[in-house]
Amino acid sequence: MIQVRSATPDDLPAIYDLVYELALYEKAPQALTATLADYQRDFANGLFEALVAERAGLVLGMALYYDTYSTWKGRMLYLEDFVVRESQRGQGIGQLLFDGFLRAARERQARLVKWQVLDWNEPALRFYEKNRAIIERNWWNGKIFLEAKAEGLS
């Protein structure tokens, strides 16, 4: 039985491990410069929330998100990262997490949810399209790293 629930501070090490697994999948482990201590501080300060999917006390996946605002649409929930352990994929865990994320957005009366997906990540693109997502191909990302240690990393 898989349970999806709101993350607690005790889940942060597992969430951090999942983010590292995602960084490996995206062939960019060096780009992960945030630390577990950063996660703990920022979670405690309410900067982000997460859902975890677990079975028998083992975290199998997570969806990490936060409130933001669209000047055109209003309240928005941004899905920062969404990952299921590679060994656990194909069991519907991702769908349970994504449905939980959408439910959280509706409960907050958000008018929009948003995220990014890499153009080469075909499994993710198929998943989002199956969920009737609009994949924008005409917007480009902009960013500036404010710490010297993060320069040159994506």
Phi, psi of 29 (to 5 degrees): -60, -30
Cα separation, 117 vs 96, in Å, equals 19
Which residues, in sequence order, are CB contacts of 137 under 8 Å at separation 6+? Answer: none
* Residue 64 token pair: 């990490």
Q: Biggest alpha carbon distance in the chain?
A: 45
Q: What is the mean pLDDT of residues 53-79?
A: 97
Please state which CATH number belongs to domain 3-150: 3.40.630.30
> Residue 14's closest CA among 67, 47, 54, 66?
54
Q: The whole model's pTM is what? A: 0.90
Cα separation, 61 vs 51, in Å, equals 8
Cα separation, 38 vs 64, in Å, equals 14
Give per-residue pLDDT as tens, 99-114. 999 999 999 999 999 9
* Residue spans of alpha helices (H) in the chain: 12-25, 36-44, 93-107, 122-130
* 31 bridge partner residues: none
Give per-residue pLDDT as tens, 79-102. 999 999 999 999 999 999 999 999
Q: Name the active-site residue from 20, 25, 65, 128.
A: 128
16 is catalytic: no
The pLDDT of residue 20 is 97
Cα separation, 70 vs 85, in Å, equals 31
